[in-house]
Each structure stands twice: as C-alpha cells, then as structure tokens.
Amino acid sequence: MKLHRLVILLNAALAGAVLAQTAPDQLLLKDYRPRSIYKVPSHHIERAKFPVIDAHSHAYAQSPAEVDAWVKTMDRAGIEKTIILSYAVGAEFDSIYAVYTAYPGRFEVWCGLDFSGYNQPGYGPAAVAELERCYKVGARGVGELGDKGEGLVYGRVPAPGMHLDDPRMDPLLEKCADLGMPINIHVGEPIWMYQPMDSTNDGLMNGFSWRLDNKPGIIDLAGMVQNLERAVKRHPRTTFIACHFANCDYDLAKVGRLLDLYPNLWCDISARYAETAPVPRATRAFYEKYSKRLLYGTDMGMDPAMYAITFRILESTDEHFYEIDHFNYHWPLYGLGLSDKVLKRVYRTNALKALYPGRK
C-alpha cells in the first residue's frame, strides 16, 4: 500500500514538472540547454596525455590548504606547473607570492605594473624600480595586463587611456626585456562583445554578459590588435604572450599574420576553447601550422572538470557535445584530435622556450 501511494505521488510530481515546463515560444535563450541526440563516441579525459605547463591561471587558491588541494588536482590532471598571473605590485604581490612558495617548482607568480601617477609628469622611474623589486622577490613575468579598449585598467590602480603602445610604457617594456620577464597581455574581447546584441549575434549568450558595444569611445577589437602589433614591433627584445589568441578566435588568420611577422610574440589558448571548438577543421589546421607558438592555458579555475574539458577538446575527436555550464554558449563543440607532436609542443615544450629561453 505504501509503495502504491509512493508511485502515485511520484507520477503526480512528474506530471507537474511537465506542466511546469516553459512553452517553446516563451523559452529564454539563457535557459536553453540542448542535449545532443547523436550516439557517437564520448570521452572523459581526466589526465593530459603528456606533461603540462599551464601558462595562464590566477590566484584562485587563497590559503595553504587550498593550494595543497590544487596541487593534488594538478597531480591527477598531469599539470606539472601553473603560472599564476596577477595584476599586483607592492605588498599585494608579496602576499600572493608567499601563498604559493610552499610548493617550489609547481607554481610561478607573475606581477603587475605600477601605474600610480601614470598621468602625471615624471611617470616611469618609480614603476621600473617596483618592477625590479618584484623580480628580486621572485616574479619571473608580468601580467596578465588587460586592455579591452579603455586602457590598461586591470589592477588596483587602473590607467584608462594608456594602452600597451603608449610611449609611457616603453621603459617598462624594455626593462622586461632586460630582466627576461615575458608579458602576458589581454587585448580586446571576442568579436561578438562589440556587435549589436540582437538576433544576429552568434555569441549572444556569452556576449551579452561581457558586452562592449554600449561603451562610448572604446577602441574596437581591430584597433586593440593594432595597438598590440605596434608594441610588439617596437620592442623586439621583449617577449609578449597574447592571451586568448589575442581574441582573434573568430578569424585565426589575423593572429597567424602577427605570429608570422614577430618572433617575439606567442599566444596562449586559455579560455577560448568554446570559441574555437565549433570549427574543428580550421582550428586544427591553425594548431598544426603554429604548433611552435601556442601555449596551453586555462584561466577557468582549478576544478578537475575544467581541466578535463580542455583535454577532451584538444585530444579527442568527439563530435557535437555541449558544455554550456562551463562556457555559456549555445553551440555544440568538437574535439580537435591534435597529434602527439602538436600536443607535446602546446602542453609543455613551447612554454619552456617562451618563458625560459635559456633552458633546454
């Protein structure tokens, strides 16, 4: 009798759930969660095929216990080392650096640049001195610097209106070359953030959250790529890493042109897996052509599932799968099935060359 009543209640609950479903003509795009119907191979890859240096992460772990847990996750995922990018200088940088020193060789903490007084006469020498101080503490790179068209606004002291190619940046960029400190720079955002937020916007689900189309006077993506090129060209001794494919993921030939022209420029692939996996053949061809210039990165936290989805996209040939909760796009993704040669370069070899040019 109790079992019969339980079945009745369960059926009623299921019926109520069906009735509560949103009608198709009332469904909001943000609630769209398609499920693939295709019966094709599916892989969950928890550990990378080869050792990995993650060239783009942040100080997600805030305590020794969290760092310890992260190291265990890295061990399971095959992450040999993680670069902790920061915008920090002064005591803030020192405190971040101290958190990660318990595991020498597993983390490397980079510093920011001091933009205090950037719009005042005499800016430069004090910022160079702070860069040198951070280097002595242990910083071995700079960034992630960030400019989405308004200026270098990442960090506690933003510098609106000053871009990477600004002459005020020249002493800092040259000092980075002197110290052998690569610079990780985020320029622009994916193209759909600049496009009208309407029915024609291919990346609307994500684009609306990060929209830039409604900011007056902002430099667009093409302009930001030009700023990057001018800086890279003017400072050939300085190593630049354009993170997120320089946000040219919609047209990789644009970043390919820069890589062809400037040997001091590299790209990290972080946080642009969902933007490139929908076009696997073109993306794979790009990886093959520029396999010596791309660095693995994540920029998406420290969860094991996060690493697993990056490995699935890079290593498998899985077709038509969704990862909306990870990436907030509605489109299906496809594995790139990269060769062992390309994987080894992207996962580790390129990072050794870009970050530690003197090391074999």
Residue 61 has pLDDT above 90, yes or no: yes
- Which residue, 87, 223, 91, 225, is CA-closest to 158? 87
Question: Which residues, other chains included, contact 144 with Cβ-Cβ below 8 Å and sequence gap of 6+?
Answer: 56, 58, 85, 86, 87, 110, 154, 184, 185, 186, 243
Confidence of residue 20 (pLDDT cuts 50, 70, 90): low
Q: pLDDT tens digit string along 320-338? A: 999 998 898 989 999 999 9
Question: What tokens were used for 327?
Answer: 């990436």
Q: pLDDT tens digit string along 160-197? A: 999 999 999 999 999 999 999 999 999 999 999 999 99
Sheet containing strand 52-57, edge to edge, reads 52-57, 79-84, 107-109
Buried b / exposed e along 287-313 (16+ C-beta atoms within 10 A): beebbebbbbbbbbebeeebbbbbbbb
Note the pLDDT of residue 26: 87
User: Considering the chain, what is the average pLDDT of its residues?
Assistant: 92
Output 301 or 2, whichever has higher pLDDT: 301
- Judged on CB neighbours under 10 Å (0-12, 13-18, 19+), 55 is buried
* Range of lowest pLDDT (153-157, 166-170, 190-194, 221-225): 153-157
Note the pLDDT of residue 14: 39
* Domains, in order of start, for the chain: 45-355 (3.20.20.140)
In the chain, the N- to C-terminal Cα span, in Å, equals 74
Q: pLDDT tens digit string along 257-315? A: 999 999 999 999 999 999 999 999 999 999 999 999 999 999 999 999 999 999 999 99
> Which stretches of 219-359 are DSSP H helices?
221-234, 252-261, 273-276, 280-289, 304-315, 324-327, 340-344, 350-355
The residue with tokens 């960029």 is: 173
For 150-213, where are the E strands, in sequence order?
A: 151-152, 159-160, 183-187
Residue 139 has pLDDT above 70, yes or no: yes
Residue 7 has pLDDT above 90, yes or no: no
Share of the chain above pLDDT 90, in %: 86
The residue with tokens 């989405």 is: 148
Share of the chain above pLDDT 70, in %: 94
pTM: 0.92
Note the pLDDT of residue 4: 43
d(C-alpha 328, C-alpha 323), whole Å: 8
* Mean pLDDT across 20-32: 82
Q: pLDDT tens digit string along 350-360? A: 999 999 985 43
Q: Give the DSSP letter string of 50-101.
A: S-EEEEEE-----SHHHHHHHHHHHHHHTEEEEEE-----HHHHHHHHHHHT
SS3 (DSSP) at 193: helix
With contact defined as beta carbons under 8 Å apart, do 319 and 40 qualify? Answer: yes
